[in-house]
Amino acid sequence: MNIEKIWLEYKTALQRFLHSKVSNEADVDDLLQEILIKTYSNLSTVKDQTSIKAWLFQIANHTIIDFYRQKARDTALRVEDTWYTEQDSDVTNELTDCILPFIHALPAEHATLLHAIDIEKKSQKEYAQHLGISYSTLKSRVQKSRSLLKGVFDDCCHFNIDAKGNVFDYERKNKSRGQGCR
């Protein structure tokens, strides 16, 4: 097995994976280098070439775990070192403005429901009472509406999603502006 060929094939995917777990660009570069060294040192232990990708991502995952363990030992973890911090209300408003065209591309009943639940943050139980329907019926409608919304997103772009369901990359499917796409 050729290390250069393997690294060329998987480096970008590994880098994206690291970005989904670590916020600091310099740390991502350091971790990528560490993964390359571990790959070079241990490539001879891989018996089956079809398991290279899984083996590389296992090394990446263990490297991330070791990184955070070491960081915890060195200093107490500071808020600015973490990837996920509480969002500023301006950012939330900006994101709301981005998603509204997609919601409005849905049929009116679905758009109204998602606007109330996901944008206005109304309680599903209270909203079900307001509409005079059962809570389970409302939950089903919300699930169906979100599924339709996902369809609108999927018509626009291809999303790469990490294990936690977070989008870490996307690619626009069609250069012409689709329904809801900007």
Contact criterion met (CB below 8 Å) for 52 and 46: yes
Question: pTM of the prediction?
Answer: 0.46
CB proximity list for 19: less than 8 A, separation 6 or greater: 28, 168
Please write the tens of the pLDDT for every residue from 93-140.
666 777 888 898 999 999 999 999 988 889 999 999 999 999 999 999
Of 158, 166, 159, 157, which Cα lies nearest the Cα of 20? 166
The secondary structure of 99-136 as a DSSP string is HHHHHHTS-HHHHHHHIIIIIS---HHHHHHHHTS-HH
Phi/psi region, residue 176 (left: phi>0; alpha: psi -120 to 50; beta: rest), is beta
Judge residue 102's burial from the number of C-beta atoms within 10 Å of its C-beta, 0-12 exposed, 13-18 middle, 19 or more buried. Answer: buried
| Confidence grade of residue 177 (pLDDT, cut at 50, 70, 90) | very low
Give the three-state DSSP class for 139: helix
Residue extents of the structural domains in the chain: 3-81, 89-172
Which pLDDT belongs to residue 92? 59
Contact criterion met (CB below 8 Å) for 31 and 64: yes
Which pLDDT belongs to residue 77? 53
CATH code assigned to 89-172: 1.10.10.10
Give the three-state DSSP class for 158: strand
Please write the tens of the pLDDT for every residue from 39-89.
888 888 887 777 888 889 999 999 999 998 888 776 655 555 555 545 445
3-81, what's its fold?
Rna Polymerase Sigma Factor; Chain: A (1.10.1740)
Q: Which of 1-5, 22-26, 102-106, 111-115 has the lowest mean pLDDT?
A: 1-5
Q: Amino acid identity of 27?
A: D
Q: Which two tokens stand for residue 27?
A: 């740390």
Which pLDDT belongs to residue 106? 92
